[in-house]
Structure 1
């Protein structure tokens, strides 16, 4: 005696697939979204992603301020910087030290932001720099 046969198993499988497909499409798209518009996939880039130049400027600004107070450790890799970013950091810190000596701390702080932004924009003006992972 058989316990169901191929028709019954096929029908059960079909119902299970139908239920899975139905449930997968039942998510709430969230407030303010148009349900008729396709949603971005998990692999699509975020429209609010930080540009490489802006990220570079933030990193340089952070480490430049810490360098001026003597609160750094390790090498450029432990800071999360590439060799090229470390070169920018050295230029910014040297200029900030000079500015701090001739003016004041606030002037040096403004110089850090300005020079880090300028040098990082220059470095990333054509996208990612080439030269391997340490560039």
Structure 2
């Protein structure tokens, strides 16, 4: 009888341990980053920084977080903005609109499927 009680106690202990609450699955995020919005924000930030006569920090395009095409778009944006500034102030949303238009064009460019020879 004593062995039966010990066995029954062991079974109920095991049943109690295995019946605990299951851990919920990890939450996954389905949000995606809009590359046009990221590009636009970067171009507007750096254009305002440069046009505001900020001290030259000596950053190259990679240190700014830009790729070569984005840097060229930034330079064109700055050149256009300076032309507008010479005749007065740039309209409030002008930088944002121009940067977004440039980034839409960049996003529409086909991406190369092979890197060819050179750096990866």
User: Same fold, TM exceeding 0.5?
Assistant: yes
Segments of structure 1 that go 5 or more residues without pairing to the other structure are 26-38
Matched, 1:17 2:28: no
Match of 2:86 among 101, 105, 108: 101
Cα pair distance change 1:106/1:99, threshold 3 Å? closer
Q: Partner of 1:119: helix, strand, or coil? A: helix
Q: Partner of 1:115: helix, strand, or coil? A: helix
Cα pair distance change 1:70/1:19, threshold 3 Å? same
Segments of structure 2 that go 5 or more residues without pairing to the other structure are 1-5, 116-120
Match of 1:91 among 66, 73, 76: 76
Q: Partner of 1:121: helix, strand, or coil? A: helix
Once residues 41 and 106 of structure 2 are traced to their aligned partners in structure 1, the CA distance between those partners, rounded to angstroms, is: 14
- What is the Cα-based RMSD across aligned positions, in Å? 3.0
Matched, 1:77 2:78: no
Larger radius of gyration: 2
Q: Deviations over 1:65-105 (max 9, x none)?
A: 11112225211122121222111111111111111112x22
Cα pair distance change 1:86/1:14, threshold 3 Å? farther
Once residues 39 and 82 of structure 2 are traced to their aligned partners in structure 1, the CA distance between those partners, rounded to angstroms, is: 20
Once residues 13 and 116 of structure 1 are traced to their aligned partners in structure 2, the CA distance between those partners, rounded to angstroms, is: 64
Relative contact order (alpha carbons < 8 A, sep ≥ 6): 1 or 2 greater? 2
Deviation above 6 Å: which 4+ runs of structure 1? none
Provide the TM-score with structure 2 as the length reference.
0.68
The answer for the alignment partner of 1:114 in structure 2 is 97
Cα pair distance change 1:84/1:99, threshold 3 Å? same
